[in-house]
Chain A
Amino acid sequence: MKPIVRKVLKSSLAKSLTTPLSVDHYLGLIDSKLSVNEPRGRIADVQRQTPDSVTLTIAPNDNWITPRPGQHILFGIDLDGVRHRRCFSIASAARNDRVEITVKRNGDGVVSNFLVDRAKAGQLVYLSHPEGEFYPNVEPPAKALLLSAGSGITPVMSILRSWIDQDCLPDVVFMHYASTDEDMIYTDELDALADAHASLSLVIRYTQEHGRIDGDTLDREMHELGERMTWLCGPSGFMDAAESLLDARTTKPIFREQFEASRREAAQGEGEVHFIKSDVAASGDEGSLLEVAENAGLNPPYGCRMGICHSCKCRVSEGTVRDLRNNEVREIRDTDIQICIHAAAGDVALEI
């Protein structure tokens, strides 16, 4: 979109002419990717590197803003008429004008299975502005460790690519755990980068062959571990194990990116939850309010299920809730909360 066109479309005149709808509603007549504010895109390329994953290259519209390395987006797609939103890390270099994500099949998950099996070029996808603090505003360190497992390779891939793209690659050990070599993604690219850059060394481990992460392997494979800043991403079990191993060996900062909620105590609630719009009541004893709703047969929207994306925001007309992250109990009225990280702490009336 030309800047002048954008300016006109964003003006208050355009708003007044399209009220109570918005300019976007009419731009949709031309192409649903167009919008004056919202980042959206179309899938431009689909690569299936392994049987259980897919790498999507997305061409975003003009509203896409350059992310920082290692950030993620809330990715939306319409499946069977329903818009689903899920978090995915940006794997491409930050300044790349195409956005790359790699999605791994997650159990019976709706979105990951669809993308892995059926994503096609041309499909419209909804994006969000990049979010996340995995790579805080730090100067590239002299020495770094990028440590990942499974689909956790994506945000560290972005960090590695961004450093190379910006010509500031430090001394890096890129250590990754995949279950087998069949499951290893980005193999060819990583090999080529290691060949081209002397300061990059690769350590790839297959858990089915070499076992899970342990101190011996770290001590054997890693030189100068104590001097390396670490970026760590993977399943929570892996991250917890890796973090305690690293804590014993280095005092440099460790940055973490988490894809799933760390195992908190089984979420427990108390009281009765009343879903007003659906006219359903359920016991709030077990699980987060999101889980209580799902177990009662309702389908409220969600994205990350761990309190970072706000997809599950929902209005409490009144009630007492407990924040599962810090166990704080609050009495609220007509307030929006993220139901994935709140449990009932008394009767709750939710507008679902």
Chain B
Amino acid sequence: MGRPTHLSDADVEQFGAELDALRDEVMKSLGKDDARYIYRVLNTQRFSEVAGRALLFAGILPPAWLAGTALLSLSKILENMEIGHNAMHGQWDWMQDPALDSATYDWDNTCPGREWKHSHNYMHHTYTNIVGMDRDVGYSILRMSEDQKWNPAFLFQPFYVLALAAFFQWGVALHDLEWERVGKDKSYAEALSQGRDIWRKVRRQVLKDYVLFPVLAGPMAPFVFSGNMVANFNRNVWSFLIIFCGHFTEEAEMFRIEETENETQGEWYLRQMLASSNVNGSVPFHVLTGHLGYQIEHHLFPDMPSNRYREIGPKIQAIAERYNLNYNTGPFSKQLGGVAKRILRMALPHRRKRKGPMPSSIHHERPAAKTQAQRRTRTNGSAATAAAH
């Protein structure tokens, strides 16, 4: 639906300045407590992995298999969501610890870190929910917005979604091949070399979880194999659910390319806020989601250490309220219901309802008038550079 019309340029500029100030305040205060937090998460993840794999070696006993699989699932979820995803965003680069360096970190799933940093950090975070630019909108197999053209294949998309959830890591791995562009503006050679990178990573992952650990377990091989498979499956479904709740809930806004040309920093923030949706939950829930329950905060400040999203959440919500912007949040069940509805609705051929100039949740009041803004263009955030890319 694009930018709400109740805000003037000056309002948007002021909005951006408030967010910049909040960001600076947090980034300046990073220190040992944050380091202690992430090291605790690292240790928990490693400990649960070692314990989980050890228990699976005794997997013939059902309680050991269950506990082992649970611990390994926990480890894989923590590693992908709270550690890998966030480290590759550069959230911990300020610590200068090579073990958390965004330039070299690679996560425990079939998608090579380098590929993912392109498709996710760059394409998705810069062009969030711009239909036609952000390939995370439907991952090129689903229809998530009225602005995507319908065709009969989308009738079956509820089934594709279930398959995607089960095999999410594989979907993510293949995602960056951008196969719909291959042979058009992307060469087969480029796709092939990417494909080789993916294959190398896939081979190592498969070798570890489905060959080496089972073989080492000797007669326990089937239990180790199945435990690893279930742990990967659990991680896939969990990350799928969290990620879909982040941008495809009912109220999440979609944007058209024309709406986002020459975006200023303030407008970019605005789009990030309106395109993202949060999920309420307890602290452990947030840790397990990699703090993507704070999707709005994450999209505003992708490189801020995740543990700080909890702290700034209420402040962001207060800013949103002052500017009469929708701070899209709700319990897991509500957000998930919204996602399901969107998937079902978009399976059917209908176009965007023209709701008038603005979403119903936004009112016409304006914050106090501000002086005329100077537009600061964000170099890596403007759709203009995108079009050139």
Contact = CB atoms under 8 A, between A and B. Distances in A.
B152 interface: no
A16 B204 contact: yes
A279 B380 CA distance: 8
Contact of B378 (A21, A26, A29, A279): A279
B96 interface: yes
Contact of A279 (B46, B208, B379): B379
B207 A16 contact: yes
B94 A299 contact: yes
B31 A17 contact: no
Contacts of A95: none
Interface in B99-116: 99, 106-108, 113
A299 B30 CA distance: 13
Contacts of B34: 81
A17 B50 CA distance: 11
Interface residues of A, number: 23
A277 B90 contact: yes
Given A80-B32, A81-B34, A19 B205 contact: yes
A78 B201 CA distance: 32
B212 A83 contact: no
B311 interface: no
Interface string A154-177: 000000000000000000000000
Contacts, number: 64
Interface string B332-349: 000000000000000000
Nearest to B96: A83
Contacts of B99: 24-25
Contacts of A28: 42-43, 46
Given A16-B208, A20-B204, A81 B32 contact: yes
B210 interface: no
Nearest to A84: B96
A271 interface: no
A83 B35 CA distance: 10
Given A20-B107, A80-B31, A81-B34, 20 more contacts: A16-B212, A17-B208, A17-B216, A19-B205, A19-B208, A20-B106, A25-B42, A25-B46, A28-B42, A29-B43, A78-B35, A78-B97, A81-B31, A81-B33, A81-B94, A81-B95, A82-B94, A82-B95, A277-B90, A279-B380
A301 interface: yes
B221 to A, nearest CB: 15
Nearest to B108: A20
Which of B35, B96, B97, B205 has the largest number of chain A CB atoms within 10 A? B96
B213 interface: yes
A276 interface: yes
Which of A21, A28, A299, A301 has the largest number of chain B CB atoms within 10 A? A21
A196 interface: no
B32 A29 contact: no
A13 interface: yes
B263 to A, nearest CB: 13
Contacts of A301: 96
A127 B207 CA distance: 34
B156 interface: no
A26 B43 CA distance: 9
Contacts of B208: 16-17, 19
B285 interface: no
Given A26-B46, A276-B380, A83 B97 contact: yes
B47 interface: yes
A128 to B, nearest CB: 12
A29 B35 contact: no
Nearest to B107: A20
Nearest to A38: B98
A24 B47 CA distance: 13
6 contacts: A16-B207, A16-B208, A17-B213, A20-B106, A81-B95, A277-B90
Given A19-B205, A279-B378, A301-B96, A29 B50 contact: yes
A20 B88 CA distance: 13
A233 to B, nearest CB: 28
Contacts of B42: 25, 28
A17 B212 contact: yes
Contacts of B31: 80-81
Interface string B38-71: 0000110011001000000000000000000000
Given A13-B212, A28-B46, A29-B46, A82 B96 contact: yes
Interface string B166-203: 00000000000000000000000000000000000100
